[in-house]
Amino acid sequence: MALLEVKDLSFTYGEKTAFEKKAVRNISLSIEKGEFIGIIGHTGSGKSTFIQMLNGLIKPSGGQVLLEGKDIWSEPKKIRNVRFKVGMVFQYPEYQLFEETVEKDIAFGPQNMKLGAEEVAKRVKDAAAFVDLKPELLKKSPFELSGGEKRRAAIAGVIAMDPEILILDEPAAGLDPKGRDVLMTQIATYHKAKGNTVLLVSHSMEDISKVADKILVMNKGDMYAFDTPKAIFSKGEEIEKIGLQIPQITKIMIGLAKSGFDVPTDIYSVEQAVMEIMKLRKSTSDILLKAPEGGAGA
């Protein structure tokens, strides 16, 4: 049984009004425990609406969200418990910091779960370590932290609840390249250490391709594709046509293939590209070595 399953999931804003707009249309997919799922799509593709239905922040207009086989809306009064299992980190989560100290802010979620003081303290310490927040920062006001530290503190507050599914909506938005790389590494480390399911929404195919087991591509509220990175990037030119940027290295490989070189076009990492180019170089060298003296025109 899948950990999370959505069946014909739909949502319409302003339903039955003159401003009606279908944001998500009939999406069905299954996510297994421990998977790292990337979600990508252009602005207005329905990404944020989709993920907010997964933990009950938005009630679907149609379809179901099944968590461990149970419809999350089967008992509406218990929807809050779903949010402890499906944690959500919003874009610019640092704007949600509000407590006197970083420690208290991270502890807020676990305390609302009615956990004991010792367990809360342990979760705060562990969550801070996962996002690389130094112990001395825990006693500071969150408003004294740098932008990157605030971001990590806010993420730690969700991680401290130890959700079975962690959803991050553009967690690297607004960070400089170094800060983005650090944060993405920490998220990948968390996933590897905990084995929890992670859903990462991003505009960056580069970021998604480095960490995801599968990628959900959304386009105008529809599920355009849901597959492995290799399968997704084999459709690189099609993906560009719906307004998404594929990784630069994928573009290079597509360009080489169009120029007549025998290389695959589903490459999405520099390491993969180097291996393929080395193979191409070796095969070319072998052909030249086997050629008759004086060359082909001798």
CATH number for the domain harbouring residue 89: 3.40.50.300
Distances in whole angstroms, Cα of residue 86 to Cα of each of 9, 109, 170: 17, 12, 17
Determine how many CB atoms are found less than 10 A away from the CB of residue 170.
19
Greatest C-alpha distance within the chain? 85
- Indicate the pairing of strand 214-219 with strand 62-67: unpaired
Q: Which two tokens stand for residue 223?
A: 């599920």
127 and 268 housed in the same domain = no
Helix (H, G, I), strand (E, B) or coil at 118: helix
CA distance 63 to 292: 67
- How many CA within 13 A on the CB side of residue 103? 12
Q: Which two tokens stand for residue 71?
A: 């419809």
pLDDT at 235: 86
146 and 160 housed in the same domain = yes
CA distance 287 to 56: 61
35 and 158 housed in the same domain = yes
CA distance 177 to 268: 19
Q: Would 174 be classed as within a structural domain? A: yes
Average pLDDT over residues 292-298: 52
Q: What is the average pLDDT value for the chain, to the nearest integer?
A: 89
120 Cβ contact list (under 8 Å, min separation 6): 107, 110, 111
- pLDDT bin (cut points 50, 70, 90) of residue 92 is confident
Determine how many CB atoms are found less than 10 A away from the CB of residue 195.
10
For residue 35, is pLDDT > 50? yes
- pLDDT bin (cut points 50, 70, 90) of residue 136 is very high
Could you identify the residue written with the tokens 């009064």?
Answer: 77
For residue 74, is pLDDT > 60? yes
223 and 256 housed in the same domain = no
Determine how many CB atoms are found less than 10 A away from the CB of residue 279.
13
Could you identify the residue written with the tokens 């996510």?
Answer: 31
136 and 223 housed in the same domain = yes
Q: Would 298 be classed as within a structural domain? A: no
Q: Would 203 be classed as within a structural domain? A: yes
Residues paired with residue 21 on neighbouring β-strands, in sequence order: 13
Q: What's the number of domains the chain is made of?
A: 2
141 and 12 housed in the same domain = yes
Out of 59-68, 129-138, 149-158, 198-207, give the one with best mean pLDDT: 59-68
Q: Would 186 be classed as within a structural domain? A: yes
Distances in whole angstroms, Cα of residue 251 to Cα of each of 59, 233, 273: 39, 10, 11
CA 46 to chain CA centroid, Å, is: 15
189 and 84 housed in the same domain = yes
CA distance 211 to 186: 11
- pLDDT bin (cut points 50, 70, 90) of residue 123 is very high
252 and 169 housed in the same domain = no
285 and 179 housed in the same domain = no
CA distance 216 to 251: 20
Least confident stretch, 56-60, 105-109, 131-135: 131-135
Q: Which two tokens stand for residue 69?
A: 């086989």
252 and 108 housed in the same domain = no
Q: Would 39 be classed as within a structural domain? A: yes
268 and 232 housed in the same domain = no
Sign of CA dihedral 58, 64, 68, 74: positive
140 and 251 housed in the same domain = no
pLDDT at 284: 65
The residue segments making up the domain with residue 203 are 4-243
CA distance 170 to 187: 12
